[in-house]
Structure 1
């Protein structure tokens, strides 16, 4: 509702960038609700509306346009469409290369680093743990917000889980809790990962019970 009202207010102001930024937020809402068709439609429509300004090299437009394509990549990955996901990542990567630096226009945190984080996220969604972990090894997210750093670490933990590396999950999630103490402990993916490990044949892994205690899951 908040995102929808923000878009309506942006429309009344005639600010195309604000409208697209509102669509970006609404895309995140639709993804959280697993309404992937709506997420894809919302992001794609906004990206088309910004395309001319992005192609002209306007930094703010490039940032929002690139961020929308990152979300389209995640949506495609969640629909198990690897080709579309990596095509969208390539578009976002080219936009980030044109910017040349990490920016935070309209709170999108768009730039080369955020593209690298999404490359990890897409690989995880597609079940390619090896690709995700190789990519993560070359990423330094410290310049981004605690929220983005925390989500990156959650994705890295998911990659470790796909390889049944409980020690890697515990170590990475512990870092996520330290970096984003308000986000990580309550995140459904974190709770699901830890709960699944507690029920597995690796439940005695050192540090797992301590982590579960920190998360209130023991």
Structure 2
């Protein structure tokens, strides 16, 4: 962020704030994440009023709205999370394509991936599956594709579709093994699948549990 300021690249500063907010979320400092992101959104909107809007502006602004959706979803604030998803959708429609400005991967597809994740965080598994199962994320990074599959696995688990949940997690693992092996949400799903299956757990599930250290 400091380097972006010194280089006269304000959008780099806003992208840095986005990543800072992610760190706050991982630390469960949701108030700090919200404060940083709201401040950035307000500042960026003011900046855009005085400058010509570019795709880069839209990418950063939309990503900040997605960050707020994540924060509100983790706090269980349903209406606020949904509002931010809709805000991001509007920005994505204005952008009109999937881009990767500042490695944010913002665009219509990534908004829907985040909408799936938000719905799962809020316990709306049916909505998550309705959005995610017909979504083509092949143009995005392996990480985003795997994230979608992981969240579909979480949604299937909430709906007690255990076979589909395992299939989604295995597909995600094939794309991004390290993410599935270390991500807290993925490990929690695998642990729940093991608890439900008990002694009837399949060899595939047991092996996945071993790889994610979810046997305990």
Task: Give the TM-score, by structure 1 length.
Answer: 0.91
Counterpart residue number, 2:88: 92
Q: What is the deviation of 1:205?
A: 4.2
The range that moved more, 137-146 or 8-17, is 8-17
CA contact (8 A) 1:184 1:190 kept: yes
Q: Which runs of 5+ in 1 are unaligned?
A: 1-6
CA contact (8 A) 1:158 1:169 kept: yes
Counterpart residue number, 2:57: 61
Counterpart residue number, 1:4: none
CA contact (8 A) 2:188 2:214 kept: no
CA contact (8 A) 2:65 2:84 kept: yes
Counterpart residue number, 2:8: 14
Please give the per-residue CA displacement for 1:176-216, whole angstroms capped at 9, x wherever unaligned: 10011222212121112112222225552433223224434
- In the alignment, structure 1 residue 160 sits paired with structure 2 residue 156: yes
Counterpart residue number, 2:147: 151
CA contact (8 A) 1:54 1:62 kept: no
Aligned ranges 1:1-218 → 2 under 5 Å: 7-54=1-48, 56-201=52-197, 204-206=200-202, 207-218=204-215
Length, aligned pairs only: 212
Task: Give the TM-score, by structure 2 length.
Answer: 0.91
After superposition, the CA RMSD in angstroms is 1.7
Q: What is the deviation of 1:10?
A: 2.0
CA contact (8 A) 1:160 1:166 kept: yes
